[in-house]
Each structure stands twice: as C-alpha cells, then as structure tokens.
Structure 1
Amino acid sequence: MRRSVLLVIALCFASPSLAGETDLTLDRGIAATLSMPEGEGPFPAVLLLHGLGADRHEIGNIYVDSAEILAENGIASLRFDFRGFGKSSGDTGAFTLDRQNEDALIGLEALMSTKGVDPERIGTVGFSFGGGAAIELAAARPQTIKSVVVWSPVGDYVADMLDSLGQKAFDRAAEEGIVGLDLGWRTMALKKDFFDSLFAHDLLEALAAYPGPFMMINGEDDFYRQYVTPMMEAAAGTDKKALAIEGADHIYHVYTPSRSKAVEVIEATVQRFRETL
C-alpha cells in the first residue's frame, strides 16, 4: 500500500527514474547516502538534515521515501548522519549546535562537488531539530542555498529543549557536566557544551539573514506550529509559504499503516523544489 501510494505521487510529475543510491563516507567520518536520478544531469539537488536522536533515514524511513521520489522527479539528494548518530563517527555526548552546523556545511560541500549535480540549484530539508540546522545552513550560505523546506521545525532552541527535557536536565548538565536523556524512542547522553550552545543560536535571526524561498510544513496538531507566524514574519524573502497538514501530528503519523500524512508532506516538498530549484 505504501509503495503504491508513493508511486501515485511520482506519476503526477515528469519523472526520470532512480539511478541508484550510493553510500559514502564524507569528511570527519560522516556516513552519507547519495541518491541520483537516471541520466547525466546536471540535476538540482537537496540536502536532507535529520532531527535530534534520529539518523539519515529519519523516523519511519521518511527520508528514504523522500530521496526516491525526489530522484524520480529529477532531483538528486544527499542525506547523512550527524557525527555521533547513525553510522557516523564521533561521540554523541560531544554533539553541539556548532558541530551540527559544521556537519551540515560538510554535507553541502560534498553535494555541490558531486558529479551530475548542479551547484547553482541546491536546496535543503530539515525535520524537527534538523529544521534548525537547515535554517542556519541557509543563513550561513544564502547565495548557495536556493530553497529551504522545514518539517515541524524547532523554533526556539532553549525554550523547546526546556519544554522537552525539563529544567532538571539543564541543571544536571551544568552541575555534573553530562546528563542521560530518554527521548522516548532512544536514550542518549549529552554534555554541558550542548546545553550551552542552545543559548548562542537564534533561528529567527538566522531566517532574517536568508532571502531565498522558504516553506514550513507542520501537522495541524504539531506542538511546534506555534512558530508559524514568527517564522513567516522573520523570513527575509518574499517567497515564503506555510502548510498545515490536516489531521497530522509532529511526525505526520509515519508509523500508521497508510502513512498518508507522510505522503502529503513528501508530495508538497517535491512540488516546492520543482518550483524553486
């Protein structure tokens, strides 16, 4: 059922088929997967940035499905594991926003230098915590990133992590230097540097530094939907859109049998990149 639904989406567009996926190791031991359409290109391309505690395939393999449908529509993609997650090297406990942003730049440089990719037509997607990474990447490279789509993005690093983890986690990290966390789907330990880094990054300021196309997709029942208005107001460009997926939560019900809400997100994202890249 899932495969047939995704094929219906792909057939709505002109669609070269998937040439294949290649696993790569980028600088600093970052594990990545490159997906290319069939043909010589050059193709537009998208960098996929995962959320906190996830990996390059994202929850419910939604990035795997996205890469396939992007390729079927003539768009290459690169997804990777931030250091300390998935199969990338590095200590999870040493994860900070600064290291996350460094990894995003490494991924961007790798994608731009890929044979068959048009470096003048690069976009990025970020999911949840990865939405912040996508926004900050665009702010750091506004002339390179031509389009940004964020799914259920974090909006205020400090407020959102306080809400998710509680003040006790911040206090324990400050007192003991490290704190073990139960995120619900996995456990992990983060050090004081991670918590300190949250205070040094402002996503609304980052959006104000990016003049290109920006799209924000939230489930109708997503708790981060509160950021739609401030983010739309902060985004510097004139081409900005907000989409609410009816009946969807923060993760678009990716674990339900039909996955219909995840399909809607992928469809809207592919269409957006076809229009802006």
Structure 2
Amino acid sequence: MPEQPISFQNQGQTLFGMIHIPSGPGPFPAVLLFHGFTADRNEHHFLLVKAARALMAAGFVALRFDFRGSGESEGDFSQVTIEGEISDGLTARAWLQAHPAVDAARVGVCGISVGGAVAACLAGRAQDVSALVLWAPVGDPARVFSQAGGGSGSGFAPTPVETGLDIGGLIVGQGMIADVMRVRPVDEARGHSGPVLVIHGTADQTVPPYNGEMYKEALGERCTLVWIEGADHTFSRTWWEQEVIQRSVAHFQAQLAA
C-alpha cells in the first residue's frame, strides 16, 4: 500500500502518523514532515497530505505524524513543549531511518511554523540531516508568542489561566511558556552545515516575515529565502501551496539525489 497508518513510541506514549511509500524497488530517500502548533499531521487545508503525496510521486518516502498532545497521538496539549516536539522528531527520524523502504543516509526534514523551529533545532543538534526545508518558521519564539492573536479582540489572543495561557481554547502550559523564552531555533540552525530552503509568505501575520529574515541573516549563503507574495501563514490558496510544494520537492531532489 502506498499510504499506511503507523505508530511508534516516545517516552512511554504512542504517536500516530501516516507513511507514504513510492511504488517500485527501494530503498528510497525520505522526508520527515512536522506540523505546526495547534495543528496535526494533515495541517490546514491538508497541506502536509498534499506535500507528502507530491513527495511520494517524486520518488520519496514521506512520513507525517502527530506530535504528542496533538491530533491522534497520546498526551495532553497542555503538556506540549518545544523540547518535547524535538524529542518526538528525533524518535520519528530514527523510526523512519530504520524502515526497510528508506535509505537511512538520505533523510530530509521539513517543518512549518513552530514545526519549522523544531526542524531547525533538530537539524542543528543531529548535525547529519541530509536536507532541510522550513516553511514560515518561527525564528524568535518569545516575540512571536507575545504578539499572538493580534490584540484582545481576537479569539486567538492569549488569556492567562491558572495553568498557563488559554490560546483559542487550548491550554498552553508553563513548560511551553518556559521553552518559548529559552529556545533559540535560529542559533541552533547554525549547527546544520548544509543548504537550507526557507519559504515565507509576505503577508504572514501569525509568524511575521522577520522570522524568515532571521534565518537568512544567520545562515548567509547557505540559506535560500523564498518569498511567496501575498501569502498568509499556511499558504492557504491553491497557487501558493503549489509553489511551496514544488519548490520544496525540487530542493529535496537536489539535496537527496543518489
């Protein structure tokens, strides 16, 4: 079957996902996909489903999964942290590398929003990620979260509660708040020695464009920063998402060629 539901364990909890496997003899290069904060392995307007299927059609194995506390995976959202998602990502990467259809030496990572920050941190720490693509990645978590919601009139605006913050009906716990203040994904991305593709919408109000610029400034010539004119945070027009996916597939093809 080209698309199969999967599960794996991390720190005593079960994570659920979907693996997409091309037809024909392997092993294949692979891409690990990270969803954003408050999202799941499908992402808004099924962005990660479309990306995974495009990657599969281009000859890649793709794995998208729910971080603990998100989607169908075990855990409570109030316990989600950036460090916890990095741990999930490392475990998912090891699981993917061990899959018989995958060439373990050719596994790239792609993340959106906070998932982009997680991907940047993972690549910097692992130091052997074969290819890295970041979509609208958070570069300054403290600043982004402090500006979330665009003011008190938004339903997404943070509201203090006893256990942390209520953001759009979800409780963001103290662990996440602490990580937001401490984790510096742009600095961690410097540990990744290969080329990085960053794609950002010019009209992104959730993770404003200065975040993409931070990665470019830090990584210099190793970073290709692509602007999607007029695009919002999740590239929610068909022509925006198509450009994002096509550019990303091309980057992985260039970096993960045999």
1:200 aligns with one of 179, 182, 191: 182
Give the structure 2 partner of residue 172 of structure 1.
Answer: 160
1:170 deviates by 7.6
1:251 aligned to which of 196, 220, 234: 234
Structure 2 Cα separation of the partners of residues 167 and 20 of structure 1: 44
Partner SS, residue 130 of structure 2:
strand
The answer to whether 1:115 aligns with 2:100 is yes
Which amino acid in 2 is paired with 1:241? Answer: T
Q: Which residue of 2 aligns with 1:15?
A: none
SS of the aligned residue for 1:250 comes to coil
1:20 lines up with 2:2 in the alignment: yes
Give yes or no for contact 2:158–2:166 (8 Å, CA) kept in 1.
no
**Structure 1 position 126 matched with structure 2 position 111:** yes
- Rounded Cα–Cα distance in structure 2 between residues aligned with 1:193 and 1:235: 29
Q: Percent identity?
A: 30
Q: Which residue of 2 aligns with 1:71?
A: 56
Please give the alpha-carbon distance, in whole angstroms, between the structure 1 residues aligned to 2:109 and 2:67. Answer: 15
**2:160–2:166 contact (8 Å) kept in structure 1:** no
Q: Distance in 1 between matches of 2:186 and 2:180?
A: 14
How far does residue 165 in structure 1 lie from its aligned partner after superposition? 5.2
Shift in Å at residue 204 of structure 1? 1.9
Amino acid at match of 1:95: V
The CA deviation at 1:97 is 1.1
Mapped partners of 1:90, 1:49: distance in 2: 17
Is the deviation greater in 19-28 or in 264-273? Answer: 19-28
Query: Counterpart of 2:64 in 1: which secondary structure?
Result: strand
Instruction: Give the deviation of 1:111 after TM superposition.
Output: 0.7
Secondary structure at 2:104 match in 1: strand
1:266 counterpart (236, 245, 252): 245
Q: Does 1:216 align with 2:198?
A: yes
Q: For residues 161-194 of structure 1, what are the alpha-carbon distances to aligned partners after superposition, in whole Å with 9 as ceiling and x for unaligned? A: 0010589988936xx2333221xxxx21121121
User: Partners of 2:173 and 2:255 in 1: how far apart?
Assistant: 39
Give the Cα separation in 2 of the matches to 1:30 and 1:65.
21
**Aligned partners of 1:230, 1:87: CA distance in 2, in Å?**
33
Question: Residue 172 of structure 2 aligns with which residue?
Answer: 190
158-167 or 267-276, larger mean C-alpha shift: 158-167
Q: CA deviation at 1:251?
A: 1.6
Aligned pair 1:163/2:147, yes or no?
yes
SS of equivalent to 1:90? coil
Deviation at 1:213, TM superposition (A): 1.5
Unaligned 5+ runs, structure 1: 1-18
Q: Which residue pairs with 1:29 in the alignment?
A: 14
Residue pair 1:211, 1:235 contacting (<8 A) in 2 also? no
Question: Of residues 6, 28, 31 in structure 2, which corresponds to 1:46?
Answer: 31
- Residue 239 of structure 1 deviates from its aligned partner by 3.4
Q: Which moved more, 1:163-172 or 1:123-132?
A: 163-172
User: Which structure carries more helix by proportion?
Assistant: 1
> What is the SS of the residue equivalent to 1:260?
helix
Residue 88 of structure 2 is matched in structure 1 by 103
Between the aligned partners of 1:197 and 1:171, the Cα distance in structure 2 is 18
* Equivalent residue letter for 1:163: Q
Distance 2:212 2:117 in 1: 14
Aligned partner letter, 2:251? R
Q: Indicate if the aligned counterparts of 2:31 and 2:109 stay in contact, CA closer than 8 A.
A: yes
- How high is the TM-score relative to the length of structure 1? 0.84
SS at match of 1:118: strand
In 2, distance between residues paired with 1:30 and 1:103? 8
Q: 1:91 to 1:228 in 2, by over 3 A?
A: closer
Structure 1 pair 167/69, CA: closer, same or farther in 2 (3 Å)? closer
